[in-house]
Chain A
Amino acid sequence: DIVMTQTPLSLPVTLGQPASISCRSSQSLVYRDGNTYLSWLHQRPGQPPRLLIYKISNRFSGVPDRFSGSGAGTDFTLRISRVEAEDVGVYYCMRATQPSWAFGPGTRVEIK
């Protein structure tokens, strides 16, 4: 099975400053159709996860442009250009293809 890892697992950030989270998979995430189905989700306390980024770098509808995704193959990064208070919570990367979908362990972002 593909294993997803994230670093760091905890990320204290300063409002207005940039932040980044890394995600690594144990195998290449390039699917047979040539796409890489790597997503990023954000979960605030008491809420379901919400999609931020899909297929490495595409922002989902309504996601602010301070969020960006990059990477290829097995290594991916989520960047927040200027952290805002509403960005606290847990960020998950995930492999979004067959045969088994998988989430990273999550990175908890908090304000310093």
Chain B
Amino acid sequence: QVHLVQSGAEVKPPGASVKLSCKTSGYTFTNNYVHWVRQAPGQGLEWMAMIYPQDGSTSYAQRFQGRVTMTSDTSASTVYLELNSLTAEDTALYYCARDNSAFDYWGRGTLVTVSS
């Protein structure tokens, strides 16, 4: 059974960085892309980043280029998202999702609050 377990909530001041984790299980980690998607309060879904754990290749949404880094640890079947230079607009629920020709399994989300 596929599971994606995300790290706990974070509170950060403006200008700080945050690193989120998403531990996967129940499938061969290197076979599928994994994505990060965020959802600001009361808003829709926004795709942020993708990684292919087999070779570490990544793709980022243009609006986050230069501010986001997605990495993976194949020994731990875990992906990470680091977001820098946080502002209040980064306050959101961050989801990881497995890609199997569609986003078929999702984590429960990690709430990131940016506040002074």
Q: Find out whether the CB atom of A48 lies under 8 angstroms from the CB atom of B109.
A: yes
Complex: A50 Cα to B95 Cα, angstroms: 12
Complex: A55 Cα to B107 Cα, angstroms: 22
B50 at interface by CB-CB < 8 Å: yes
Q: Find out whether the CB atom of A100 lies under 8 angstroms from the CB atom of B47.
A: yes
A73 to nearest B CB, angstroms? 18
Q: Find out whether the CB atom of A49 lies under 8 angstroms from the CB atom of B102.
A: no
Q: Find out whether the CB atom of A101 lies under 8 angstroms from the CB atom of B47.
A: yes
Residue of B at shortest CB range from A97? Answer: B101
Complex: A18 Cα to B32 Cα, angstroms: 35
B46 at interface by CB-CB < 8 Å: yes
Complex: A60 Cα to B103 Cα, angstroms: 10
Known: A37-B101, A48-B95, A55-B101. A102 touches B106 (CB 8 A): no
Complex: A91 Cα to B48 Cα, angstroms: 19
Complex: A39 Cα to B37 Cα, angstroms: 15
Can you list, as one digit per residue, whether each of B88-104 has a CB less than 8 Å from chain A (1) or not (0)? Answer: 00000001000101111
Interface residues on B, range: 20 to 34
Interface of A is mostly: loop
The residues of B that contact A54 with a CB separation of less than 8 Å are: 101-102, 104
Number of A residues, CB within 8 Å of B:
26
B55 to nearest A CB, angstroms? 14
B57 to nearest A CB, angstroms? 10
Q: Find out whether the CB atom of A105 lies under 8 angstroms from the CB atom of B44.
A: yes
Cβ < 8 Å to B, chain A residues 94-108: 94, 96, 98-106
A1 at interface by CB-CB < 8 Å: yes
Cβ < 8 Å to A, chain B residues 13-50: 35, 37, 44-47, 50
Chain B positions within 8 Å of A, measured between CB atoms, are: 35, 37, 44-47, 50, 59, 61-62, 95, 99, 101-104, 106-109
